[in-house]
């Protein structure tokens, strides 16, 4: 059977690119820095500054700039930088170490973590496992919230001496991936400094499902919610948004805008033509599907006639179709090309990565929502890798939750609503779908069983849970429908067995 795609609904891709787009982020960071300076001057009383970002906005660069600028102020002698996970802290430590020097940047970790820290990170920083080991030259101390906020250290921070504010060990607390840090973790570190600066993607998945609220005394309080959502409307909080993204190809911008539809503006540093996927000669279904993916537009293929799945989100028959699509692409080999940019967003050259030599970032990642589904996907990855002799880095499988914060060229994902009978807090979580759709730099292929439109048409209208309220943020049917309109879509009818 032939397959043809219904093109994505026409959406305006008018906006800024390259330097003009990147300038929007620099301007937003400059405004946030101006507020930080007024707080340090003593002429403003903000207790928190939030820099909200979309996925792939280059927020870590903004955080490094804010840290280094803050330390130039006479009223800022020492800052802390924290996040929920070490994988977020280590890259920041390296960047800050390269910027400020190892003597000024101290990575504060558990002793058993030290052997696992990459050599290039160790070379850029000073490492301490106890407060006594933190050098007097350190002006930046980085560690996860579990380390910096450990009760055992509450009284020991005095050993560092007071910071410029005269009462706390740090003048500013910076929180990376702030929307991934739950409130109950933030409260363990917030008193380290009189000012907190949170930077992060508002679509991150929290490490604990906020729907599992253990607090029963006050429906307006949820210790599992992302901590910035407790303060965004507080008069002592200043909020700024980064209006540009660096990660996606220009053709994906309508998808990003569908997720962040309440933002005043969202532009893309990559311009049309900056990225491409060079495909091998193929035929049939695989050729048509990969040609759609190579346009950069998000692509959705729904399969009809599949054998029954074990569960809606554990679907071996659907994964077998993914394997069938992958084999001719991987057999023939493919390449991805990208424009490189300097820190201002100006193109500096062209980069070509061939599937025969994939480099550091995985080229293709299969994402699923459940561990068992990922185990099934990993088995397909292993089988294809062995049979085709693929080098490491071409193909990978992961859960959506584990892959947040990571980047790859092409994402293949099972739609969270595939095979579902109704919308629920898990399959309609904003963060889970946002992470799924925003990892790829070149192409996104979403697969599902046929029936997504019918499921959404039949779903009861509901407002969802707005970001900023306690509890999880569930996407109502209207938002799912708006997101799906940004995809090239097709349905493939499988031939009946023996037909």
What does the pLDDT look like over 284-300, one tens digit per residue? Answer: 999 999 999 999 999 99
Please name the residues in contact with 302: beta carbons below 8 A apart, sequence gap of 6 or more: 447, 448, 449, 450, 451, 452, 489, 490, 491, 492
Token look-up 């190892």 returns 102
Enumerate the β-bridge partners of residue 444: 411
* pLDDT computed for residue 470 by the predictor: 36
* pLDDT computed for residue 204 by the predictor: 74
Residues of the chain with CATH 3.40.50.300: 18-245
The mean pLDDT value for 393-403 works out to 92
Cβ-count burial of 393 within 10 angstroms (0-12 exposed, 13-18 middle, 19+ buried)? middle
Judged against a pLDDT cut of 60, whether residue 220 lies above it is answered with: no
Question: Band of the pLDDT at 212, cuts 50, 70, 90?
Answer: low
Judged against a pLDDT cut of 60, whether residue 114 lies above it is answered with: yes
- Read out DSSP for 359-400? -SS-SEEEEESSHHHHHHHHHHHHHHHHHHTPPTTSEEEEEH
Enumerate the β-bridge partners of residue 296: none
C-alpha to C-alpha distance for 331 and 336, rounded to whole angstroms: 16
The CA dihedral of 405, 267, 51, 402, to the nearest 10 degrees, is -10
* pLDDT computed for residue 485 by the predictor: 93
The mean pLDDT value for 28-46 works out to 97
* pLDDT computed for residue 437 by the predictor: 93
What does the pLDDT look like over 4-31, one tens digit per residue? Answer: 899 887 655 668 999 999 999 999 999 9
* pLDDT computed for residue 209 by the predictor: 52
Instruction: Identify which of 19, 10, 177 has the alpha carbon closest to the alpha carbon of residue 92.
Output: 177
CATH class of 272-493: alpha beta
* pLDDT computed for residue 498 by the predictor: 53
Question: Band of the pLDDT at 477, cuts 50, 70, 90?
Answer: confident
| The CATH number fitting domain 18-245, selected from 3.40.50.300, 3.30.70.1350, 3.40.190.10, 2.40.37.10 | 3.40.50.300
* pLDDT computed for residue 462 by the predictor: 61
Judged against a pLDDT cut of 60, whether residue 465 lies above it is answered with: no
Question: Band of the pLDDT at 277, cuts 50, 70, 90?
Answer: very high
Question: Among 224-233, 384-393, 436-445, which is the least confidently predicted range?
Answer: 224-233
Query: What percent of the chain shows pLDDT beyond 90?
Result: 71
Question: Among 112-126, 138-152, 311-325, which is the least confidently predicted range?
Answer: 311-325
Question: Among 93-97, 205-209, 383-387, 475-479, which is the least confidently predicted range?
Answer: 205-209
Token look-up 């991934």 returns 180
Question: Band of the pLDDT at 370, cuts 50, 70, 90?
Answer: confident
**Rg of the chain, C-alpha, whole Å:** 23
Q: Are strands 347-354 and 140-142 parallel, antiparallel or unpaired?
A: unpaired
Which regions of 190-334 does DSSP assign to beta strands (E)? 196-201, 237-241, 244-245, 267-268, 275-278, 299-304
The mean pLDDT value for 143-166 works out to 94
Task: Give the ranges where 101-161 is alpha helix by DSSP (H).
Answer: 119-122, 145-148
Judged against a pLDDT cut of 50, whether residue 468 lies above it is answered with: no
The mean pLDDT value for 224-230 works out to 79
Token look-up 């979309």 returns 54
- Residue 56 DSSP SS3: coil
Question: Band of the pLDDT at 497, cuts 50, 70, 90?
Answer: low
């Amino acid at each position: 059977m032939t397959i043809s795609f219904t093109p994505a609904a026409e959406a305006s891709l008018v906006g800024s690119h390259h330097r003009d787009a990147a300038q929007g982020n620099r301007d937003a960071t400059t405004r946030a820095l101006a507020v930080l300076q007024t707080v340090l001057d003593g002429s403003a009383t903000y207790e928190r500054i939030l820099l909200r970002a979309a996925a792939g906005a280059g927020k870590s660069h903004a955080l490094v700039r804010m840290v280094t600028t803050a330390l130039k102020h006479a009223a800022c002698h020492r800052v802390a930088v924290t996040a929920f996970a070490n994988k977020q802290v280590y890259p920041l430590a390296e960047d800050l170490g390269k910027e400020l020097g190892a003597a000024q940047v101290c990575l504060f970790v558990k002793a058993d973590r030290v052997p696992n820290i990459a050599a290039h990170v160790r070379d850029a920083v000073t490492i301490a496992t106890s407060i006594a080991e933190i050098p007097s030259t350190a002006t930046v101390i980085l560690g996860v919230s579990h380390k910096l906020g450990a009760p055992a250290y509450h009284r020991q921070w005095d050993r560092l001496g007071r910071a410029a504010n005269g009462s706390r060990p740090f003048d500013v607390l910076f929180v990376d991936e702030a929307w991934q840090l739950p409130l109950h973790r933030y409260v363990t570190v917030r008193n380290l400094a009189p000012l907190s600066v949170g930077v992060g993607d508002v679509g991150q998945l929290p490490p604990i499902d906020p729907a599992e609220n253990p607090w029963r005394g006050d429906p307006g309080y949820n210790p599992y919610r992302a901590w910035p959502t407790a303060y965004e409307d507080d008069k002592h909080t200043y909020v700024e948004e980064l209006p540009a993204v660096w990660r996606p190809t220009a053709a994906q911008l309508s998808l990003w805008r569908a997720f962040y539809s309440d933002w005043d503006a969202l532009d893309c540093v990559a311009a049309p033509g900056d990225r491409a996927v060079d495909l091998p000669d193929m035929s049939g279904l695989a050729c048509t599907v990969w040609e759609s993916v190579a346009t950069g537009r998000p692509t959705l293929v729904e399969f009809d006639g599949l054998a029954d799945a074990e569960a809606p989100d554990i679907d071996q028959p659907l994964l077998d179709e993914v394997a069938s699509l992958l084999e001719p692409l991987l057999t023939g080999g493919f390449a991805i090309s990208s424009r490189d940019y300097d820190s201002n967003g100006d193109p500096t050259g062209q980069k070509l990565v061939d599937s025969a030599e994939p480099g550091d970032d995985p080229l293709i990642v299969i994402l699923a929502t459940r561990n068992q589904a990922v185990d099934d996907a990993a088995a397909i990855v292993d089988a294809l890798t062995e049979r085709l002799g693929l080098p490491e880095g071409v193909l990978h499988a992961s859960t959506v939750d584990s892959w947040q914060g990571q980047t790859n060229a092409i994402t293949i994902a099972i739609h969270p609503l595939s095979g579902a009978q109704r919308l629920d807090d898990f399959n309609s979580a904003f963060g889970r779908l946002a992470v799924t759709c925003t990892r790829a730099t070149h192409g996104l292929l979403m697969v599902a069983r046929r029936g997504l439109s019918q499921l959404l048409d039949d779903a009861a209208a509901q407002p969802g849970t707005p970001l900023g309220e306690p509890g999880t943020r569930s996407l109502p049917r209207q938002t799912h429908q708006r997101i799906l309109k940004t995809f090239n879509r097709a349905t493939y009818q499988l031939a009946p067995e023996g037909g």
